[in-house]
Amino acid sequence: MAGYAQLRALWPYVSLAWRVTGDPRFDWLAGDAGLVGVFDLDIAALIDPLAAFMRSRHRAQAAPAGQSVRGGTQTAGPLFTLEAAEIRQLRAVVLAAVERHVAAMGGCDPRHPTRQHIGRPLRFAGSWSVRLTGAGHHSNHIHPQGWISSALYVAVPSQAEMGPAPNGWLQLGQPPPDLAGGLEPCRRIEPKPGRLVLFPSCMWHGTQPIDGGERLTVAFDVAAVGP
């Protein structure tokens, strides 16, 4: 088990090395568009009460140490274990979306860090909310404990508050600047209320800063059950 965890932690760096050297294995590892799922969930009636509930959980006054949040706050504890009606409804909707996403990825590939778990039972390995304000953003990072990671947008700034695109957008595939400065994201995704983005946990991801307003998200990691 420890050996697998160590191997999993290497994949983001393998991906980076293959990309910067033009190795065609990068396309096999991270270039397949099917590894990323974008779902505009039918949760219009849930958005406002969910946003109010999320704001009530953001009690910290500063960004958590050791996390990717810059200019915002992150909730403490596993969000999806709460029994609030808004969370129960959301949990059911996002689990169904994750199952659709995994089914759409196709067959299992035991060599691939994401496709190797297709067909196995799922569990939530972590869940939380992030609230960004001012010039808030996420620095580029990965989730070493997850299989599939996510961003679900609950509230986003107005276009005037957010600033010109791609301000506030999710960016995938761009490592931290100290690893490969100047390397552009492989993909950018516009935030919209009710939009859920799913992507491999070993894929570098972060956000462009917003100019102002509030960006409120729910995020979670999914893990496969078993070794």
Rounded Cα distance between 14 and 96, Å, is 31
Single-letter code of the amino acid located at 146: G
Cα dihedral sign, 157-159-160-164:
positive
- Report how far apart the first and last C-alpha atoms of the chain are (Å, whole number): 7
Rounded Cα distance between 153 and 132, Å, is 12
pLDDT at 157: 94
Which residue ranges in the chain fall short of pLDDT 50? 1-4
pLDDT at 118: 95
pLDDT at 227: 60
pLDDT at 226: 74
> In sequence order, what E strands does the chain have?
37-40, 69-74, 122-138, 148-155, 170-172, 187-189, 195-200, 205-207, 214-224
pTM here? 0.93
Which residue in this structure is represented by tokens 């808030």?
136
Which domains, and CATH codes, for the chain? 2-224 (2.60.120.620)
| Contact in structure between 198 and 55 (CB atoms under 8 Å) | no
For residue 134, the 8-state DSSP code is: E
Q: pLDDT (tens digit, 9 = 90+) per residue, 114-134?
A: 999 999 999 999 999 999 888
Rounded Cα distance between 195 and 98, Å, is 13
